[in-house]
């Protein structure tokens, strides 16, 4: 789209002007910038905010004596508007799903300063120029464990598609992300040959499962709730939601086979006042001991390889980053989705509107 | 020059001007926080001097069909609300003090609960194993659960529940304004109750009906959470597509173009409702 190019051009020009017009921040000249009395960390809210506080905010506050104020929700549009206004309220923000690459490309973020944020032990997926990977999560297959007893549940998407062997109402997300991948995997494409996605083939395969999808879910709470209410017996969902149910002993299980791994992205909005302390905050988030606290509560484990070792043994199989689970899953290709997301979404909406 | 009629006219006009002055702060506020942002949004749709976004929105069958579907849903919600609301309004307008208090309380209670909470409550009530289906099954009235949720029926139920007060209150207000001597006079002249209703009460309450319909229709078109959750993905409203463009794809110009089309369509229907009710009133007089 020619328009997008224009907008990006304008953004870059704006950024250049800003950089030229402002004095260099103090830390670029070698000194530690003065401590503010607080920084603002924006994240998804809900129970997540509570556990971010227990795991990271409390530690940061103790170490640096700077209060962490948390806000929510994660909103890409707001991030863009803030950066364009030149005075972002957030010191650090979580960035939703597949938006990390786009935020980088649109020049909305400060680069990660690896002299402060130590990523030396991180795997490659966790080393990005402007994005800090806070944790990994996965879209996995959830099932009623009283309907599919003793491991008789479907494993992988070909079996999810097999309505004769595994009868019952199902639910998928009302969104092309993950579903196109799952359809192709169900059709026999190997995990390492998924990208670039063959959309025609994926939608043909989706046609098959469509009559058996009772609900196309739109919020993360839905699949868990529908499984508990027995509205459906099989559903895709974010592993953290199923983890919560497992801890509550609900008759709902989940399986990581061919799960779609994603990383949660964090960034420092470009031009924010206390960027240096934002970097310090991200450094706090790299601590495997703190990551383990967070993972124990929500199952969203950080990428530091030592994190798993700090988590209780019985919970390790429920973490998407446990070595045995990592093997079974694939990493969602965010750059494919950044490039093709809008096209795929349009096609998805069109497909959803076809009657029958 | 100084006939009493003329004087009265002057006073009336002067008073009108005074009242207009009183409205200035509100108008300024509306202008600053409503009209200006709306205009800016609309102007975004032609940013860069191109009509390409409108072309895409209008020529791509997808967006037009979603817009038409949204209108259909909004009209259905409006119709159901009207049918349900009119008797309630009529009853309220004639109820005693206790009845009125209770009725108003029941009507307004949902107002104090968030739409999201109410929507989740419907999930619990309408589901396959929800309260309603389980009860009916326990009583042996049905064998298979009724499809109440995750379809158009669920969306209609949820939206009507939220929007019903917006229909009842204007009709109630216009019913109160009817001079009680009029139906009494009709009765005194021997008109049966149904005729007095059809010839007097109904036509005189049409302004309320018109206002209620317009309110409910316009609010329905913007509905977003309720259809997303209760429709189970089977119902797509144009507001969902606009949100997608704003939040997910950051294609604000295209979102603005869609919004402009939605606004134009809304204004057209709004005008049509006004004309229809005016026509109906003239026809009955």
Domains and CATH numbers, chain A: 2-136+263-321 (3.40.190.10), 138-260+330-353 (3.40.190.10)
pLDDT at A68 over 90: yes
DSSP A110-147: PPP-TTTS--TTS-GGGB-SS-EEEEEEEEEEEEETTT
Q: For residue range A134-147, what is the model confidence (pLDDT) as tens digits?
A: 999 999 999 999 99
- Tell me if A217 sits within 8 A of A174, measured CB to CB: yes
Residue B7 burial (C-beta neighbours within 10 Å; 0-12, 13-18, 19+): exposed
Q: What is the DSSP string of A289-302?
A: HHHHHHHHHHS-B-
CB contact under 8 A, B244 and A345: yes
**Band (A1; pLDDT cuts 50, 70, 90):** very low
Q: Does A353 touch chain B (CB under 8 A)?
A: yes
CA A62 to chain centre: 28
B184-201 per-position pLDDT tens digit: 898 889 888 888 888 889
Does B248 sit within 8 Å of A3, measured CB to CB? no
pLDDT at A15: 44
Would you say A286 and A302 are in contact if contact means Cβ atoms under 8 Å apart?
Answer: yes
A339: nearest CA partner in chain B: B249
Rounded to a whole number of angstroms, the distance from the CA of B39 to the nearest CA of chain A is: 18
Q: Do A215 and B251 touch (CB under 8 A)?
A: no
Q: Flag if B62 and A350 touch (Cβ within 8 Å).
A: yes
Tokens of B105: 């309380």
pLDDT in tens, B126-163: 988 899 999 999 999 988 888 899 999 999 999 999 99
pLDDT averaged over every residue in chain B: 88
Q: What pLDDT shows up at residue B126?
A: 92
Q: How far apart are CA A253 and CA A144, in angstroms?
A: 6
Mean pLDDT of A54-79: 93
Express as a percent the part of chain A with pLDDT over 90: 71
Query: How does pLDDT run across A303-315, given as a tens digit for each residue?
Result: 999 999 999 998 8
pLDDT at A4 > cutoff 70: no
* Minimal-distance CA residue of chain A relative to B241: A349
Flag if A346 and B62 touch (Cβ within 8 Å).
Answer: yes
Locate B116 and state its tokens: 């999201």
Question: Can you tell me the distance from the alpha carbon of A233 to that of A236, in angstroms, rounded to the nearest whole number?
Answer: 10
Chain A's closest residue to B235, CA to CA, is: A353
* pLDDT over 60 (residue A20): no
Q: Is the pLDDT of residue A61 over 80?
A: yes
| Separation of alpha carbons B169 and B277, rounded Å | 17
Q: Touching check for A200 and chain B: CB below 8 Å? A: no
Work out the average pLDDT over A65-94: 93
Distance CA B63, CA A350 (A): 9
C-alpha to C-alpha distance for B72 and B70, rounded to whole angstroms: 5
Residue bearing the bigger pLDDT, A355 or B126? B126
Which residue in this structure is represented by tokens 């934002």? A278
Name the residue among A77, A349, A350 with its Cβ closest to that of B247: A77
Q: Which of B69, B149, B228 sits opposite A218 (nearest CB)?
A: B228
Residues B234, B153 contacting (CB under 8 angstroms): no
pLDDT at B3: 58
Q: How many Å apart are CA A121 and CA A104, to the nearest integer? A: 23
Q: CA B238: distance to chain centroid?
A: 16
CB contact set of B163 (below 8 Å; sequence gap of 6+): B77, B81, B216, B219, B220
pLDDT band per the 50, 70, 90 thresholds, residue A8? very low
Residues of B in contact with A230 (CB under 8 A): 128-129
Kindly determine whether residue A229 and residue B228, on different chains, have CB atoms separated by under 8 Å: no
* The pLDDT value given to residue B285: 60
Q: Spell out which residues of chain B touch residue A3, defining contact as CB-CB under 8 Å.
A: 47-48, 50, 52, 253
Chains A & B: contacts with CB separation below 8 Å: 68
SS3 A235: strand
Q: Token pair 């009183």 is at which residue?
A: B22
d(CA B22, CA B19): 5
The model's pLDDT over A186-212, given as tens digits with 9 standing for 90+, comes to 999 999 999 999 999 999 999 999 999
Q: Is the pLDDT of residue A24 over 50?
A: no
pLDDT at A18 over 70: no
- Give pLDDT tens digits for A39-50: 999 998 777 888
**In Å, how far is A100's CA from the nearest CA of chain B?**
12
On the question of a cis peptide bond just before residue A196, with omega within 30 degrees of 0, the verdict is yes
Residue A98 has pLDDT above 90, yes or no: no
Residues of chain A contacting B252 with CB distance shorter than 8 Å: 77
Question: What is the chain B residue with the closest CA to A74?
Answer: B247
Cβ pair B129:A230 closer than 8 A: yes
- CA angle A129/A135/A138 to nearest 5° reads 115
What would the mean pLDDT of B251-267 be, rounded to a whole number?
Answer: 90
Q: Report d(CA A268, CA A112) in Å as an integer.
A: 8
Q: What is the mean pLDDT of residues B81-105?
A: 93
Q: What is the pLDDT of residues A103-130, one digit of tens each?
A: 998 999 999 999 999 999 998 888 999 9
Task: Write out the residues of chain B at the interface with chain A, using a CB-CB cutoff of 8 A.
Answer: 47-48, 50, 52, 62, 65-66, 69, 123-124, 127-130, 149-150, 228-229, 232-234, 236, 241, 244, 246-253
Task: Using alpha carbons, list the distances in angstroms from residue A128 to A80, A132, A215, A265.
Answer: 20, 7, 36, 10
């Amino acid at each position: 789209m020619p328009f997008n190019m224009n907008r990006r051009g304008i953004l870059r020009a704006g950024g250049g002007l800003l950089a030229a017009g402002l004095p260099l921040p103090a830390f670029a000249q070698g000194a530690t910038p003065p401590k503010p009395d607080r920084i603002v960390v924006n994240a998804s809210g809900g129970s997540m905010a509570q556990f971010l506080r227990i795991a990271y905010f409390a530690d940061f506050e103790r170490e640096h004596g700077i209060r962490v104020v948390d806000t929510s929700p994660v909103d890409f549009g707001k991030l863009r508007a803030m950066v364009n206004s030149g005075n972002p309220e957030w010191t650090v923000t979580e960035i939703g799903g597949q938006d990390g690459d786009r935020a980088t490309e649109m020049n909305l973020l400060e680069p990660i300063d690896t002299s402060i944020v130590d990523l030396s032990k991180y795997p490659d997926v966790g080393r990005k120029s402007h994005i800090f990977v806070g944790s990994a999560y996965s879209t996995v297959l959830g099932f009623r464990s009283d309907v599919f007893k003793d491991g008789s549940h479907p494993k992988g998407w070909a079996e999810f598609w097999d309505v004769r062997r595994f009868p019952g109402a199902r639910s998928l997300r009302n969104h092309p992300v993950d579903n196109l991948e799952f359809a192709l995997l169900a059709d026999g494409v190997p995990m390492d040959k998924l990208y670039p996605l063959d959309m025609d083939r994926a939608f043909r395969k989706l046609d098959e499962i469509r009559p058996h999808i009772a609900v196309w879910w739109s919020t993360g709470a839905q699949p868990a709730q529908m499984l508990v209410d027995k509205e459906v017996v099989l559903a895709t969902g974010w592993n953290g939601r199923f983890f919560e149910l497992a801890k509550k002993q609900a008759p709902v299980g989940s399986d990581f086979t061919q799960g779609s791994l994603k990383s949660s992205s964090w960034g420092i909005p470009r031009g924010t006042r206390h960027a240096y302390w934002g970097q310090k905050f991200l450094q706090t988030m790299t601590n495997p001991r703190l990551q383990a606290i967070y993972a124990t509560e929500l199952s969203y484990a950080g990428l530091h390889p030592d994190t798993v070792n700090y988590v209780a043994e019985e919970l390790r199989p429920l973490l998407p980053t446990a070595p045995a689970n990592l093997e079974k899953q694939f990493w969602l290709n965010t750059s494919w989705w950044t490039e093709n997301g809008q096209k795929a979404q349009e096609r998805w909406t069109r497909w959803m509107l076809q009657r029958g | 020059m100084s006939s009493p009629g003329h004087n009265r006219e002057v006073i009336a006009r002067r008073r009108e001007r005074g009242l207009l002055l009183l409205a200035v702060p509100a108008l300024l506020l509306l202008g600053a926080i409503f009209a200006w942002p709306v205009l800016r949004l609309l102007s975004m749709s032609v940013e860069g001097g191109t009509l390409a976004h409108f072309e895409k929105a209008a020529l791509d069958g997808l967006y037009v069909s979603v817009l038409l579907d949204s209108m259909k849903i909004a009209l259905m919600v409006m119709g159901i609300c009207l049918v349900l609301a009119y008797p309630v309004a009529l009853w309220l307008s004639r109820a005693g003090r206790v009845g009125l208090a209770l009725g108003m309380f029941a009507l307004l209670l949902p107002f104090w609960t968030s739409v999201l909470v109410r929507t989740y409550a419907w999930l619990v009530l309408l589901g396959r194993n929800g309260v309603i289906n389980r009860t009916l099954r326990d009583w042996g009235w049905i064998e298979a659960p009724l499809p109440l949720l995750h379809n158009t029926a669920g969306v209609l139920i949820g939206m009507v529940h939220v929007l019903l007060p917006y229909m009842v209150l204007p009709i109630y207000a216009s019913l109160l304004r009817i001079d009680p001597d009029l139906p009494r006079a009709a009765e005194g002249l021997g008109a049966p109750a149904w005729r007095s209703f059809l010839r007097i009460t109904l036509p005189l309450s049409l302004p309320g009906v018109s206002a209620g319909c317009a309110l409910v229709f316009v609010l329905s078109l913007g509905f977003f959470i309720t259809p997303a959750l209760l429709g189970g993905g089977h119902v797509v409203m144009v507001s969902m597509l606009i949100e997608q463009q704003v939040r997910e794809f950051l294609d604000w110009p295209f979102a603005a173009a869609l919004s402009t089309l939605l606004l134009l369509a809304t204004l057209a229907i709004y005008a049509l409702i006004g004309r229809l009710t005016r026509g109906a009133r003239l026809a009955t007089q």
